[in-house]
Structure formats: C-alpha cells, structure tokens
Amino acid sequence: MAAFHSPSTASIGMVLLLLISFSMAAFAYGNFYHNFDVVWGDGRALIQEGGDLLTLSLDKTSGSGFQSKDEYLYGKIDMQLKLVPGNSAGTVTAYYLSSKGEAWDEIDFEFLGNLSGQPYILHTNVFCQGKGNREQQFYLWFDPTADFHTYSILWNSQRIVFSVDGIPIREFKNLEFLGVPFPKNQKMRLYSTLWNADDWATRGGLVKTDWSQAPFKASYRNFNADACVWSSGSSYCSSNKNAWFWEELNFAKKGQMKWVQNNYMVYNYCEDTKRFPQGFPTECTFADRAYLSLNSPHFYPKFRDHSKISFSSLITTTMCRLELARLEYRILISDNGVVQPKRVASVGSGPMPLNSFVIIIMVELTKSIVYLLLEDKETQFVLSSKHNCKVNNK
C-alpha cells in the first residue's frame, strides 16, 4: 500500500494563491499599475497617486492612450472620468471595449470636445464584425469637466447597456434571431485615448483645435471590472457573475433611460431618414421592446412547457391561437418567420392596447419548431396551458 502524505503547507498556500489570482483577475478594481498598460504618448500618459489616478494629455505633437492588461468576454465595466476642461474643441476622449482583426467588435463611449461654455457631446456606437454605423449622441445633464463621473458598460449575452452615474442612456439588445449581429464571440480589451480629431469632432470639423490651450488633460480613477476574463483559451468569471450576466433594465431604469433620451439625445441613427431612405435597420424597429429569450433564466420554469411548438412536418402557413392573460390573438406565421400579431378579441376585465405587449414568432423550418419570444412591458402575462394550434398546409 502506498503511503499517504498530507499536503504540505507550501502546496496548500500555492493552491490558495492560484484561486485568489483567478478571482482577482475576474474581479479587477482600483489600481492602474495592476490593471493597465500605457501604450501610446511618450510620457503623456501618467499613473499617479500610487496607482489610484491616471491622466492622459494631448499637445500638438501627440495624444496618449492606455489599454487593459486583461481581455474580457462579457462583463460590467465602470470607470470614473473627468474630461478636458475649458476650450476642448477638436479633442476626443475615447473610452471603449474592442477586439482585434478586420471583423472586430467594439462598444464605444467617445466624448467630443467643444468651445468653452458649450456642452460636450457623448457619442456612443456598437460595432459587430467590423460594422458600426449605430451612433447615438447625447448632451450630459452636468458639467463633465468639473468633477469625476462614472461611465459604465454592461455587456452580457442579451444586451449592451451604456450608463452614466448609474443612469442607463442606451440599450442595444441581442436580436440575432432577427438577423442583427451581436458581439458575443470575440474577447475585448478596454482602451482609452485622448487625441486630436478636429477634422470632424466639433461641429463636423468647422471648429478647429486651439493649440494655445494645450496641453489638454483628461483624468481617470476608480476602475472596476466585474467580468469574465479570457486567459489561456478559457474564460474565467467572477463569483458575482449572476448579478450582471442576466441583468436587464427594470421599470425604474427604463424610465430613467426614457428621460435621458427624451431630454438629452441629440442624434439617433434610428431616426435619420436621410441616411436610411429605404428604411431603418432592423434593430431600430425593435429598439424599445424587451424580449424574453429562451436562454434567460427568467424563461424557466414559468414558460418551460410552452417554450416551443413542434410540428411533424415542414409547414408553410400556420394559424395559431394563443390565449394570454387578458387578450386573445390570432397569429399568422408566414415563410419569412416573423410577423406581428392581430388582436381577435379581448378577454378578462376589459380590452388592453395592442402595443402593451407584442409576441414575435420565429420559425425555424428546418427543425419544424416555432420559438416564442415574449415581451413583457410592465404587464405580467402567462401563456395558456393549451396552444390550440392548427397546421394548415397550403
């Protein structure tokens, strides 16, 4: 019989150290020495105060920038920034997640400078597989140069949410079932740069950078990443993953976002008819709708028995009657797989507006399965126990 040897104190300590290292990698916070590398600027990017503060500067010779040591595949990222004060026209402070390659993914905050007394423009964009063109721009409801403010990116498998001081300003949802690409496969680093873009940044390039005001300086502190960190071909997530991985906007957060968009949004690509004369991108039609994905934990067990309807053979047309809590709909599923419902009759305590909620049906003909993606707009509803579907092959 082989002798049993208890593990040494040193080996136990090594295991604990490795576990702590993985945990710290997935939940990074605080120190710029530990979390970032200065990659550009020839001394214009400085880490100060023992790693608690980082500053970028721009002069006529060069700007500056830094990047995270870690790469992330989903996470919740926070950073406090204080932007270039005074006459910042022509300057851009960029703060963004990005992958590499020609078909890169990217999630952008960009702060476009302006003349003294004129507001900054916060520019947001989402790139997927190298394609962006999803710009939304906002004024801020405070002076972003007077003090530090928190700018956050929530990125999970269902949505991307841009927030300022905890207030959501934009949500980009995963609508892959409608053919809209979504960043989900490429790991991304966090980057930030301060650079000159006076050919477009301020009033479309009409206002140029006043170099007599240089050097321009932006400051950073209180970085926090509760994220899945990519390492050695695998993703390591923090123990707090479930707090953000399934996070969605509740009623109060949706109200805050609506307030920002109604009062401070200055450009929305989904409203630019000159840019899209043939019709808006698909995601614009569904931008204000909150879909309950089959992958969401909220889908189960409540809808577990009703998540799919199977047919014995391929279909071209199906008339399906679904009973909701207060409304009855008849839905025509055509070859394109996505249709809007028509209300047939109201049931229960009275009629409810059609736009209170919408059901989108996606048909996967190769598998003969109809997936139900449900939207709940402040109204709880439950599918009836029987779908009462009839197959009509025409």
Question: Using an 8 Å Cβ cutoff, are 185 and 75 in contact?
Answer: no
Instruction: Report the distance separating Cα 55 and Cα 32, nearest Å.
Output: 11
Instruction: Report the distance separating Cα 353 and Cα 378, nearest Å.
Output: 13
Question: Using an 8 Å Cβ cutoff, are 203 and 197 in contact?
Answer: no
Quickly list DSSP for 121-161: EEEEEEEBTTB----EEE--SS-TTTS-EEEEEEE-SSEEE
106 catalytic? Reply is yes
For the chain, where are the alpha helices, taking DSSP H only? 9-26, 32-35, 241-245, 251-264, 282-285
110 catalytic? Reply is yes
Mean pLDDT of 307-313: 29
Residue with tokens 């020839």: 42
More confident residue, 173 or 339: 173
Q: What is the pLDDT of residues 147-160, one digit of tens each?
A: 999 999 999 999 99
| Least trusted range by pLDDT, from 15-19, 200-204, 299-303 | 299-303
Q: Supply the mean pLDDT for the chain.
A: 74
Instruction: Report the distance separating Cα 35 and Cα 226, nearest Å.
Output: 13
More confident residue, 388 or 255: 255
Burial class (CB in 10 A: 0-12, 13-18, 19+), 288: middle
Mean pLDDT of 52-58: 98
Q: Where are the domains of the chain?
A: 18-271, 291-391
Question: Using an 8 Å Cβ cutoff, are 64 and 38 in contact?
Answer: yes
pLDDT at residue 288 in the model: 53
Which one of 71, 102, 106, 247 is the catalytic residue?
Answer: 106
pLDDT at residue 287 in the model: 62
pLDDT at residue 291 in the model: 36
Instruction: Note the CATH number of domain 18-271.
Output: 2.60.120.200
CA distances for 353 relative to 94, 187, 328, 376, angstroms: 43, 42, 12, 13
Asked if residue 277 has a cis previous peptide bond (ω within 30° of 0), the answer is no
Task: Please tell me whether residue 96 adopts helix, strand or coil conformation.
Answer: strand
pLDDT at residue 392 in the model: 33
Question: Using an 8 Å Cβ cutoff, are 376 and 346 in contact?
Answer: no
Q: What is the 3-state secondary structure (H, E, C) of 282-329?
A: HHHHCCCCCEECCCCHHHCCCCHHHCEEECCCCCCCEEEEEECCCEEE
Q: Is the pLDDT of residue 191 over 60?
A: yes
Q: Report residue 28's pLDDT band, with 50, 70 and 90 as the boundaries.
A: low
Question: 300: Cβ–Cβ under 8 A, 6 or more apart, which residues?
Answer: 307
97 closest CA partner among 64, 54, 126: 126
Instruction: Report the distance separating Cα 310 and Cα 394, nearest Å.
Output: 18
Question: Using an 8 Å Cβ cutoff, are 69 and 37 in contact?
Answer: yes
Instruction: Report the distance separating Cα 357 and Cα 345, nearest Å.
Output: 15
Residue with tokens 């419902």: 341
72 closest CA partner among 229, 306, 178: 229
Q: Is the pLDDT of residue 18 over 50?
A: no
Give me 24's structure tokens.
Answer: 């710290």
Backbone φ and ψ of 245, nearest 5°: -65, -30
Q: Report residue 119's pLDDT band, with 50, 70 and 90 as the boundaries.
A: very high
Pairing of strands 27-29, 234-237: unpaired
Give me 312's structure tokens.
Answer: 């014995």
Q: What is the DSSP letter of 378?
A: S
Which one of 49, 71, 102, 110 is the catalytic residue?
Answer: 110
